[in-house]
């Protein structure tokens, strides 16, 4: 499996997604070969309008080079089925190499269903995946998509439930994003943070409050050692202490015993929370733990038999 990317931005060096896939599958192709077509949205729009044949040939050339000796080549689209430029690019790319298309719809899927039907008339549509669906809505979404696509003979490959761990960031990534220093349990810096809580109440309510969420980062002011201790009594991924404060020895001892990293940051509490929210918004799946987690999710919900059948491969 090797990706060829048409990406939304041509800025920066290399393609992080391609580099991650290359590392996971231990591929030998160069980054330039794996990410041969890099266009900004404006550049892509111009090519589609003025010289779509040249774009088609660029994609075809990249595909021919990278597909040698491979069973499957994955080509990533722009990710917005309701956008005219994105769908036009999808048609050009798919038709250039005779590729089948899998459409991924993020929840809620209502507004995109008609676009899928239109797309199925212009490309070979392998199937549809509904993504980030709240667990309580999975069955409802299955029925909704099945009803909408029954006449069009479009296959629903999976309804992927929302898994908070896949949307999280590691302790190390948080520390880097906040410009912080990890003071303890560095060996746990690759643990994934799913939730954020701020310690601002009295110690009597601390245990009850912090017990509401697991796999969390707790942000506490340096002078609130009572809240720091309360947080450490509940499932906590890391303790973030603001205003460049250093924890008391008793806090350090508790954290070490429970293997909870303490991160000291120069920012105040509000700025720290803003920084964490930004890091979570930019979270990537380029993480070995997330990859294992996602594999388990797909094993439970993806119709591999239908997928391989569409590709003419054996399960």
Q: Give the integer Cα–Cα distance in Å for 124 and 150.
A: 17
pTM (two decimals): 0.83
Domain with CATH 3.40.50.300 in the chain: 2-163+287-311
How many other CB atoms sit within 10 Å of the CB of residue 290?
Answer: 20
- CATH 3.40.1390.20 in the chain, residues? 169-281
Residue 301 CB neighbour total at 10 angstroms: 16
Structure confidence by residue, pLDDT tens digits, 83-128: 888 888 888 889 889 999 999 999 998 877 888 998 999 999 999 9
Q: Which residues of 230-257 are buried (b: 16+ CB within 10 A; e: fewer)?
A: bbbebebbbbbbbeebebeeebeebbee
Q: pLDDT for 195-237, tens place per residue?
A: 999 986 555 567 888 989 999 999 999 889 989 999 999 999 9
Residue 58 CB neighbours (<10 A): 18
Strand 192-193 vs strand 169-170: parallel, antiparallel, or unpaired?
antiparallel
Average pLDDT, the chain: 88
- As a CATH number, domain 169-281 is 3.40.1390.20
Looking at CATH, the fold of the domain delimited by 2-163+287-311 is given as Rossmann fold (3.40.50)
CA dist 187 and 302 (Å) reads 34
User: Per residue in 33-72, pLDDT tens?
Assistant: 888 787 777 888 888 888 888 888 988 988 888 888 888 8
Kind of pairing between the strands at 2-7 and 37-38: parallel
């Amino acid at each position: 499996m090797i990706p060829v990317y048409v990406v939304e931005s041509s800025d920066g060096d290399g393609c992080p997604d391609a580099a991650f896939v290359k590392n996971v599958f231990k591929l030998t192709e160069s980054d330039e070969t794996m990410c041969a077509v890099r266009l900004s949205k404006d550049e892509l729009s111009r090519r589609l309008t003025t010289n779509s044949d040249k774009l088609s040939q660029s994609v075809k050339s990249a595909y021919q080079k990278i597909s040698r000796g491979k069973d499957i080549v994955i080509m990533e689209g722009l990710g917005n089925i309701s956008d005219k430029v994105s769908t036009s690019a999808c048609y050009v790319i798919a038709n250039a190499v005779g590729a089948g298309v899998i459409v991924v719809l993020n929840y809620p899927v209502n507004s995109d269903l008609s676009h899928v039907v239109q797309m199925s008339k212009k490309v070979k549509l392998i199937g549809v995946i509904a993504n980030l669906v709240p667990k309580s809505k999975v069955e409802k979404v299955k029925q909704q998509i099945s009803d909408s696509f029954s006449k069009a003979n479009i296959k629903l490959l999976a309804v992927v439930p929302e898994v908070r761990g896949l949307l999280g960031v590691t302790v190390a990534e948080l520390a880097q994003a906040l410009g912080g220093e990890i003071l303890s349990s560095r060996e746990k810096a690759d643990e994934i943070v799913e939730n954020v809580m701020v310690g601002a109440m009295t110690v009597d309510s601390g245990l009850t409050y912090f017990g509401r969420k697991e796999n969390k980062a707790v942000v506490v002011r340096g002078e609130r050692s009572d809240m720091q201790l309360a947080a450490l009594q509940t499932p906590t991924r890391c303790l973030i202490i603001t205003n460049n404060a250093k924890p008391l020895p008793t806090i350090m001892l508790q954290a070490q015993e429970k293997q909870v990293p303490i991160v000291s940051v120069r920012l105040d509490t509000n700025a720290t929370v803003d920084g964490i929210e930004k890091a979570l918004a930019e979270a990537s799946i380029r993480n070995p733990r997330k990859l294992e987690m996602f594999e388990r999710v797909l094993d439970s919900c993806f119709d591999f038999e239908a997928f391989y059948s569409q590709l003419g491969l054996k399960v």
